[in-house]
Chains A and B, each alone.
Chain A
Amino acid sequence: MRRGYTTIIVCMLALVVNSCIDPLELEIDDRTWKLVVDGMITNEPGPYTVRLSRSKRYSSYTDSWNAVETGARVIVSDDKGNEETLTETKPGTYLTSVAGIQGQIGNTYSLSIRTKDGKQYTSSPETLLPVPEMDDLYFEVRPVQVLNESDVERTEYVVDVFVDIQDPAEARNYYLWQWQSTFRVSTQPWDYSEKVGNVRVPMPKDCCEICWVTNTTNTVNIQDDRLLNGANIKRHLVTSIPVTAQHFGTKYYLEVKQFSLSEAGYDFWRILKSQIENGGSIQDTPPATIIGNITNLNNPDERALGFFGASAVSKSAIFIRREELGVRIAEYVFPDDCRVLSKSTTEVPAFW
């Protein structure tokens, strides 16, 4: 009897605690298809890319990217009277020429767009601000205690990559970091098998065992110098690389680009970051509209999205070798052609 009573209570509580998440039909029918501008000019040699697209209804697929804006006339110009019309090399992607305009520190740049339907857009002028060199780019191995499914603590490792820079004292500075990494993988194509019915049937492949896989920036990494104006930015975390058999078969190459941002650019990326990183936690920042720098010349009430920025760039790169980590790493097991891994190539990169 007592047991029965307990069971009843538990069942009742289960009903309460097992809250349910259900898809919700919300009548959102946005038909404004706002123009989206994504582009940047730097002090590195061109060509520079400007991508034009349209926003899509929230409930449409994000992966099949077809809302490109074709047939627009896109001109980049500076305050010194230089300008260049971009060429549409593939639908929605507009490029400057190789020997064309190049960003100069101190100049102010803007983009003007005339879309196929005759609408005129312009970006507010952005001044290309200088950026300091990276003093040091280095890494540290950090153990991470994680709880697995059955709540047992386990130690995993990550490699934290840091940058130190000397922040110029004279002005407020805003930074953006992007990186690109390459690592070598060694797979086992000869062990490849496929499931036929309920049986795994070996189907060895001849190629390929060795590939180089490229990863790119996966988070918006920005920083302002309000707390350290003129002091050194020390130990700014560029990225954390999980120590896995795939990443550290031999060594890991990481190239870091450091961009200067204007105040408006920083605000754009800061809010964008807060909106794409919201994970539904209660500490999240509330939903916000991201204010870009593109306006419709004829109709200021029309909201265009995106940003055309101007940045100076400094670059640095490091190799992180497997033996430097001081952590035991298992051999990578992947019984298939290494080319099936995304962003992989069998060609040895030049820097390797």
Chain B
Amino acid sequence: MKQHLLRFAFIVLVCLLSLCVQTSFGCILSGSKANFYSQSGAQLLQDSRIIVSGKVSDARTGEAIVGASVYLENTNTGTSTDGSGNYKLTLKAGSNTLVISYLGYQKQTKAFTSQNDVTLNVQLSSTSVTLTEVGVTGGKQPDANIRDVQSGISSIDIKTIKTTPAFMGEADVVKSIKLLPGVSSVGEAATGFNVRGGSTDQNLVLLDDAPIFNSSHLFGFFSVFNPDAVESVTLYRGSVPAQFGGRISSVLDVKQREGDRQDYIVTGGVGLVSGRLAVEGPIVREKSSFIVVGRASYSDWLLQKMPDITIRNSSASFYDLSAKVSHTFNGKSKVSLNGYRSYDQFGFSGDTLYNWNTNAATLKYTYLFSDNFWVDVTGVYTDYNFKVNAKEPVTASEYSNGIQLKNIKADFALAGGRHQVNFGASVTAYDLQQGKLEPTTAESEVVPVQLQQEHALESAVYWNNEVKVSSKLSFMYGIRYSLYSTLGAADVYVYEPDSPKKDRTITHTLNYSSGEIIETYHGPEPRLSLNYTINDRSAVKLAYNRSRQYLHLISNTTSVSPTDIWKSSNRYIKPLIGDQLSLGYFRNFAQNTIEASVEGYYKQLENILDYKNGANLYLNSTLEADLLSGKGRAYGVEASINKVSGRLTGWANYTYARTEVSIKGPTPEETINQGNYYPASYDKPHTLNIVSSYKLKVRMTLSANFTYSTGRPITAPVAHYVIDDYVVPDFGERNQYRIPDYHRLDLSLSILANKAKQKRWEGTWNLSVYNVYGRNNPYSVFFKQVYGSPPRAYQLAVVGAAIPSISYDFKFR
């Protein structure tokens, strides 16, 4: 069986590769045609012109469709709709046929004859046969890969996420993100993801504008985004527009969908681990809607059935719930309110219970001053808490830490002519709970500890302009200015100036009253993107970004642990500053059905943190004394090829990425590896991802994923020695060894149960096998001595076998 699957996967891979080769030949042949088109384009200019404009909206919800493509049939003349669904095109007077399309919607063709300007509003209806539309929306227009000024941006369609083979059948946003070029993670059950050599805390993860501080369910096996609630997922890793800030590596922008404004619809799914249910419908038909989406695991119930008592005493459960209401007032303004909660509980053998939860809310008001000038005013609240409950009678206690955020912002957008201007301002208040330990029973011998809270205020203004200078050249330039202050009430230790910071070198303590400014950091963050379109099929894109990050996740493990604390920049911890320069070459083949690109980047990081030898990160009131800061550099090349349509779709990408850190302090104690550059703990030089999906029949799609990456670095003991009868491991230099490489093949088969168009029930079966050839990918490596044998390295694999699963999704209207 295993052999058959392997053989099949091999065939899929070979097909994908041979297809790529074939089509690129096809393109070389058709390349000569390009000249012909551009010449006839020049002739067109002499004819009389009309302006065609209008709005593209969803036929069902009436909601504007952003990024829909509108183009003249059989030509390359076209545009895409702006942030409010509007488009404008200049065409030759006379007969024209426009094709309006958007992924997941039925394509519409509008023919008209006119000598004057025309307004043409188009309503698209969504396609019900979802599985046939598997595709990567790397660009929303067919040639967006070439035309878009920004580089290093990937969007994944939620339908792609749902058909990608998933662990335990749980379609997962973050797992899919990890298959994009330039994205990696340190292992199976690792929290978060690493983008272009950045640590996991350098990604701004937004769920409807609300920052999410822990995107993991069950220690990273799943992510907190319910696929049924998600509308779109966009990852910015290269050009980051100036409206985003606060993290230096990337922005993952997850938008949740709004409820249907016409009909009541129930969607849901049953998998091995969790069940999902979504209910949506109009409140006032055409004007307002609601959607409530929930997901809950029943893994606890399964654990109870296990033969092993330790497992039976374990608990692992999670749920997430989101609800959204939106209302449109007379086409001029719109308000939406979104609430979100995710909750996790994990305990091993009953004595220690880990628990984390996120509560978030977003209130957004959009007002259109005119068709091409509008504003979004958004209020955001996020509250993240982490808790550990110890149940042993003597140590019964609760440990907690967390972060709360309140944000208000106004974002203006002005689209007109060749410019698209975005500007706005944002203010965010943070409260960071650094750690608290309390006994929970009278018999408990735990001594209570409470570290003081941190408070901070981050403000930013930005201005971003996207200009199309000519058909060949477009720019996006912008600037963000951020200002960050840590505020009292707080006691701040002052250390002896010329010696390493330690609790014993504290000279005195400064007391700040509530709201008093302790330290302020500020600075400009310029952003620049440039697109030089060589011809309709190829473009060169250049991008430069500077970002400042004021929050730091202090962590020394790969999974969620009590030592992971969100910490504010303060008197001692300076903000991270990242500068990234990237250059890419983009080339489309076969009528834009194959998109290829090669992007290189170089990043410089200032004030990157690592820990001292022997650091204690748990409930440490002088944490700054155990941290060191230095500089980092990250560089890499990403090569990617996407096939966006046809029976076989998918992508393949290879990333070479390095991240190195150098920490050189005034004393040996404050220096790591003699100040030389060493690999960061998430440095993974080689990554290869192949994601493919093949439509076997109209209602049957087979998908295969393959992923390979270099093992992450670890610090290993190179020797041992004896001091006072203790056998002491002698650890070598930091991060000089690596755990074995990671690779995995997944397969899945999606079967759409029925097709008839007007049926009220739609069902989809998804069968998948994760880790098909049962690779024991190491999750962590540890060192120990078993009595009677020499000490050695051991690896822990979390998923050491092929995991088959089955799930069923349904939609009822």
- Chain B hits for A21, CB < 8 A: 794-797
Q: Which of B256-264, B324-332, B643-651, B801-809 contacts its partner?
A: B801-809
Shortest Cβ gap from A9 to chain B (Å)? 6
Q: Does B309 contact A (CB under 8 A)?
A: yes
In the docked arrangement, what's the CA distance between A58 and B737, Å?
14
Shortest Cβ gap from A31 to chain B (Å)? 9
Contact A58 B803 (CB under 8 A): no
Q: Does B8 contact A (CB under 8 A)?
A: no
Contact B272 A12 (CB under 8 A): yes
**Given A20-B776, A24-B740, A224-B504: A38 and B794 interface contact (C-beta under 8 Å):** no
- Chain A hits for B719, CB < 8 A: 30, 32-34, 55-58
Contact with A along B235-268 (1 / 0, CB 8 A): 0000000000000000000000000000000000
**Given A30-B718, A58-B720: A15 and B504 interface contact (C-beta under 8 Å):** no
Number of interface residues of A (CB under 8 A): 72
Q: Does A286 contact B (CB under 8 A)?
A: yes
Q: Which of A75-83, A266-274, A339-347 contacts its partner?
A: A266-274
Q: Does B798 contact A (CB under 8 A)?
A: yes
In the docked arrangement, what's the CA distance between A30 and B718, Å?
6
Interface size class of B (residues with CB under 8 A): 35 or more
Contact with B along A1-29 (1 / 0, CB 8 A): 00000100110111111111111111110
Q: Does A210 contact B (CB under 8 A)?
A: no
Shortest Cβ gap from B212 to chain A (Å)? 22
In the docked arrangement, what's the CA distance between A10 and B717, Å?
39
Q: Does B25 contact A (CB under 8 A)?
A: no
- Chain A hits for B733, CB < 8 A: 289
Shortest Cβ gap from B716 to chain A (Å)? 6
In the docked arrangement, what's the CA distance between A36 and B668, Å?
19
- Chain A hits for B739, CB < 8 A: 24
Residues B757-812 near A (CB distance < 8 A): 776, 778-779, 781-785, 789-805
- Chain A hits for B11, CB < 8 A: none
Q: Does B618 contact A (CB under 8 A)?
A: yes
Total inter-chain residue pairs, C-beta < 8 Å: 210
Residues A27-70 near B (CB distance < 8 A): 27-28, 30, 32-34, 36, 38, 53-62, 65, 67
Contact A55 B730 (CB under 8 A): yes
Shortest Cβ gap from A301 to chain B (Å)? 8
In the docked arrangement, what's the CA distance between A58 and B721, Å?
9
- Chain A hits for B802, CB < 8 A: 15
Contact B798 A19 (CB under 8 A): yes
Q: Does A315 contact B (CB under 8 A)?
A: no
In the docked arrangement, what's the CA distance between A151 and B796, Å?
26
Shortest Cβ gap from B443 to chain A (Å)? 8
Picked from B306, B617, B781, B797, the residue with its CB within 8 Å of the CB of A26 is: B781
Q: Which of B362-370, B607-615, B688-696 contacts its partner?
A: B607-615
Q: Does A350 contact B (CB under 8 A)?
A: no
Contact with B along A275-318 (1 / 0, CB 8 A): 11000101101111111000000000100011100000000000
Q: Does A232 contact B (CB under 8 A)?
A: no
**Given A6-B305, A19-B796, A62-B727: A28 and B718 interface contact (C-beta under 8 Å):** yes
Quick one: closest A residue to B727, CB to CB?
A62
In the docked arrangement, what's the CA distance between A27 and B617, Å?
30
In the docked arrangement, what's the CA distance between A38 and B721, Å?
10
Shortest Cβ gap from B507 to chain A (Å)? 13
- Chain A hits for B557, CB < 8 A: 282
Quick one: closest A residue to B792, CB to CB?
A59
- Chain A hits for B351, CB < 8 A: 147
- Chain B hits for A145, CB < 8 A: 392-394
**Given A16-B803, A58-B720: A144 and B669 interface contact (C-beta under 8 Å):** no
Q: Does B350 contact A (CB under 8 A)?
A: yes
Shortest Cβ gap from A325 to chain B (Å)? 19
- Chain B hits for A15, CB < 8 A: 800-803
Q: Does B451 contact A (CB under 8 A)?
A: no
In the docked arrangement, what's the CA distance between A58 and B731, Å?
9
Which of B305, B616, B726, B802 has most chain A Cβ within 10 Å? B726
- Chain A hits for B311, CB < 8 A: 17
Apart from A12-B803, A53-B721, A280-B784, 11 more pairs, CB < 8 Å: A9-B302, A12-B804, A13-B272, A15-B801, A28-B716, A67-B721, A144-B394, A282-B563, A289-B732, A290-B613, A291-B668
Q: Identify the B interface with A (CB < 8 A).
A: 168, 272, 299, 302-303, 305-309, 311, 313-314, 350-351, 392-394, 503-504, 556-557, 559, 561-563, 611-618, 668-669, 674, 715-733, 737, 739-740, 776, 778-779, 781-785, 789-805
- 29 residue pairs of the A-B complex, CB under 8 angstroms, read A10-B302, A10-B306, A13-B302, A14-B306, A15-B803, A16-B168, A17-B306, A19-B779, A20-B797, A24-B778, A24-B792, A27-B737, A28-B732, A55-B720, A145-B393, A145-B394, A172-B504, A267-B614, A272-B728, A280-B784, A282-B561, A283-B562, A283-B618, A288-B614, A288-B615, A288-B731, A289-B613, A289-B731, A305-B723
Q: Identify the A interface with B (CB < 8 A).
A: 6, 9-10, 12-28, 30, 32-34, 36, 38, 53-62, 65, 67, 144-145, 147, 149-151, 153, 172, 216, 220, 224, 226, 263, 267, 270-272, 274-276, 280, 282-283, 285-291, 301, 305-307
